[in-house]
Amino acid sequence: MSIRGKLILVFVLVVGFSGGNLFVHFWSKRQTDASLEELRRATEIQGELRQIQRDLNDLQKQNSIMGQFISATDDVALRPEEIERFDSQTESVALRMETIANLVGRANRESYEQLVAKCKELIKSWRRFYLYFGRDHTQALTELALNAEPLGLEVMQVYMPDLVEKERMRIEMARKDYFASSELTGRITTLMFAGSTLILMLVLLWFSRDLVRRLAGLRRGAEQIGSGDLDHRIADSSRDELGELAGSFNEMGGRLLTARGELDEQYQKVESERARAEHLLRNILPDSTAEELRSKGQVAPQYYSQATVLFADIKGFTLATEKISVDLLVEILNHYFTAFDKICEKYKVEKLKTIGDCYMAVAGVPNRRLSHGVDAILAAWEFIDVAKELSARDEYPDWQVRVGIHSGPVIAGVVGIHKFAFDIWGSTVNRAARLEQAGQAGRVNISEDTRTYVKDFFDLEARGPITTKEGQGVEMYFVERPHASLANARLSLQAGFAERYRVYFREDLADFPASMLLESEK
């Protein structure tokens, strides 16, 4: 059976049981309503009978008093209004009798009719008594004594109590019938509801368990296929909608398995090219700049209020180009610049570019750092150390490095759309180049602005001013060595330098050039 057929079956069962429950509900309501109506009628009859009994008692007492009044005097006559009042009272009793006629039960109909007949006779006797009253006292007293009073006693003591008792029993019976009917219909309703609910729950449980089991199989199969297990197949051979869906999943898995081989091959090619492009991009640009370019497609220029620019030039390079073969020259220059790159990476100084034998870098860009001046000098010091080490090798020329450093504001960004490069601009760059040109081989030449950042770390040698292209004088200083005062009985020079670095800049020192150590510490 298809899922649609099963759902229709469940729907038919729900409608059928709901209809059965509604039928039982309305049947039970009809039974209880009938019992309530019977109880209402019997209760209303009781009230009417009590009122009739009171009215008849009043009339009987009234007539008895009138009979006594006749015995006491012979010249009394009834006024017309008194007869009218009597007629009104008896008419009220007759009306109440008629009301009871519509309410009395079949079982008590005979007793009611007997009571009505006796009441009519009694009323007629009282009527005759009233007519004789004041005209023929003997006839009046005879009617009262021989007819009215015996009939009144018979009505009040026999027929009326009999009907009242029977109606009371009717009330009791109606009450019992009501409670019995309510209990019976309640039980039937409960059993019907419980039975239908149980059957529906069993049917729904069977249907839902089957549906959930098969859906779980489909879900697991989809998860297996989604996770890449394209060899997985869903075991569902049913001929309903879920079986067809399982077959479609299995066919899809087969097609995906075929396509995955082709996609894997293409993916490997794309991934290889992407990794290569990513590597090239991160070699060309700083990480943060490369990420911005990759995510936004462009790099917004950034202003840095303080940075330190470093120029390092190789002295003797021009002469070496005339004496050394091209291959060896490029190899040696590559060794120099590769070593410089590693030093910059260690001290978090950003390499910008090489211009012939000139190496340009900046500290504090693109990552802003308070330690940019000290980091640039430490890197420059190691540049000079590397040059000394490499120039001592066989077949390597005696090259020395001249370094110029200046601190100030710069603007950084990426220029061009083809072969773009990360670069910086501003007068700070020009002054750093001018300081490099005015320096000496194997020495680090810094400006007054840089001195303000590093004076607590290094001993400096004042050199006097240098004139820039704009005609301004810039004071120059050679970096001699770290402050000897940084070393004491507790700390070595390197440890003292590192501690001050940590206090000033709230980060750890990356390294310390070995050539800066005191002779006693080497």
pLDDT tens track for 501-520: 999 999 999 999 988 887 66
The residue type at 204: L
Q: CA angle, 481 as apex, 477 and 487 as ends, to 5°?
A: 140
C-alpha–C-alpha distance, residues 148 and 267, integer Å: 124
Per-residue burial over 153-185, b if 16 or more Cβ lie within 10 Å, else e, is: eebbeebbeebbebbeebbebbbebbeebeeeb
Q: Is the pLDDT of residue 292 over 70?
A: no
Reduce the DSSP state of residue 304 to 3 states and report it. strand
- pLDDT value of residue 498: 95
- The lowest-confidence range among 61-70, 117-126, 287-296 is 287-296
Token pair belonging to 42: 């019997």
Q: Is the pLDDT of residue 283 over 60?
A: no
Q: Is the pLDDT of residue 450 over 80?
A: yes
- pLDDT value of residue 494: 93
Greatest extent of the chain over all pairs of C-alpha atoms, in Å: 180
Q: Is the pLDDT of residue 71 over 70?
A: no
- pLDDT value of residue 7: 67
Q: Among positive and negative, which fits the CA dihedral 376, 380, 385, 390?
A: positive
C-alpha–C-alpha distance, residues 167 and 496, integer Å: 118
- The lowest-confidence range among 144-153, 173-182, 376-385, 386-395 is 173-182
Confidence tier at 5 by pLDDT (50, 70, 90): low
| DSSP 8-class letter at 233 | -
Q: Is the pLDDT of residue 411 over 80?
A: yes
**pLDDT-above-90 percentage for the chain:** 28
- pLDDT value of residue 506: 94
C-alpha–C-alpha distance, residues 167 and 165, integer Å: 5
